[in-house]
Amino acid sequence: MTPETVLQLIVMLRRAGVTDKRVLEAMEQVDRARFVPATFRDRAYEDVALPIGAGQTISQPSVVAQMSAALEVGPRDTVLEVGTGSGYHSAVLSKLARRVYTVDRHRSLTREAVATHQALGIPNVTVMTADGSLGWPQQAPFDRILVTAASEDPPGPLLAQLGENGIMVVPVGVSGPVQTLVKVRRTASGFDYDDLGDVRFVPLVQGIEPDVRSGRPGQ
Ligand code: SAH
């Protein structure tokens, strides 16, 4: 990526209303083109979702920015992402957090994401192929949980794996094409919910996708 394109992406995000300095700096460090199939690479710096295979998409940069800002990730935080997809959002989070765990039900996607993270020298992201609606119990509790696929309600196992004062950002509602982005905060006595506006995500689907071409797990 040439410096111009990084700047184009950041200028575009600022125009879209993104003000969080740490998020903008993190996104400046991650070349979105590396996470996009070659046929769409010329559109990598546009504010659009793009196909990444397996019927899935890499999210719009402005949505990645909005969700990352809403998560309020600190440098000592451990983050769980459900829905690795291309691995782009976890790469952005890796610049904000201490450690990122990310899980996807498509082995073909986790394999590709691991390869991209390795090629970029990102050391603090761990990828797993599994049903992420169950969370990652071995690594819980998490300071932050990001869900990048839509579900009817915030999944119970994820709420259970959110540490005290933890924040989860999750698209909620699967009856139509548009969902509400919800920010959940765990308090000493329960959960607080805030609506952050409309978003469009692929649905959270139960179970692991059978992948006949796969050799071994994502990691
Ligand atoms: N964050 C991604 C984009 C996510 S697209 C990026 O940066 O590119 C949503 C992803 O959620 C898809 O890859 C889909 O396979 C995954 N997904 C859907 N249901 C899932 C589940 N139950 N567990 C884990 N991943 C799931």
pLDDT at 174: 76
Task: Give the separation between CA 119 and CA 173, rounded to whole angstroms.
Answer: 36
Catalytic residue among 59, 86, 94, 108: 59
Ligand 1 atom having least distance to the Cα of 83? 11
Which runs of E-coded beta strand occur in the chain? 50-53, 56-58, 78-82, 99-104, 125-129, 142-147, 162-172, 179-186, 191-199
Distance from Cα 213 to the centre of ligand 1, integer Å = 19
pLDDT at 217: 44
- The total number of residues written for the chain in this structure: 219
User: Which three-class secondary structure string do you get for 92-108?
Assistant: HHHCCCCEEEEEECCHH
Cβ of 202 less than 6 Å from ligand 1: yes
Question: Using an 8 Å Cβ cutoff, are 181 and 69 in contact?
Answer: no
Residue whose CB lies within 8 A of the most ligand 1 atoms, among 52, 202, 211, for a mutation test: 202
b/e code 192-203 from CB counts within 10 Å (16+ = b): eeeeeeebebbe
pLDDT at 176: 80
Query: How many CB atoms lie under 10 A from the CB of residue 205?
Result: 14
pLDDT at 7: 83
Cβ of 32 less than 6 Å from ligand 1: no
Distance from Cα 106 to the centre of ligand 1, integer Å = 8
Please list, in sequence order, all residues whose beta carbon lies within 8 angstroms of the beta carbon of residue 100, skipping any fewer than 6 positions away: 78, 79, 80, 81, 90, 93, 94, 124, 125, 126
Tens of pLDDT along the chain (219 residues) come to: 555 787 899 999 999 999 999 999 999 999 999 999 999 999 999 999 999 999 999 999 999 999 999 999 999 999 999 999 999 999 999 999 999 999 999 999 999 999 999 999 999 999 999 999 999 999 999 999 999 999 999 999 999 999 999 999 999 997 788 999 999 999 999 999 999 999 999 999 999 987 655 444 443
Q: Is 149 exposed, middle or buried (0-12, 13-18, 19+ CB in 10 A)?
A: buried
For 3-199, the fitting CATH number among 3.40.50.1820, 3.20.20.80, 3.40.50.150, 3.40.640.10 is: 3.40.50.150
pLDDT at 209: 87
The residue behind tokens 């990645």 is 64
**Domain boundaries defined on the chain:** 3-199
Ligand 1 atom having least distance to the Cα of 206? 22
Task: Give the separation between CA 178 and CA 198, rounded to whole angstroms.
Answer: 6
Determine whether 59 is an active site residue.
Answer: yes
Backbone φ and ψ of 138, nearest 5°: -65, -25
Q: Whose CA is nearest to atom 11 of ligand 1?
A: 83
Ligand 1 atom having least distance to the Cα of 88? 7
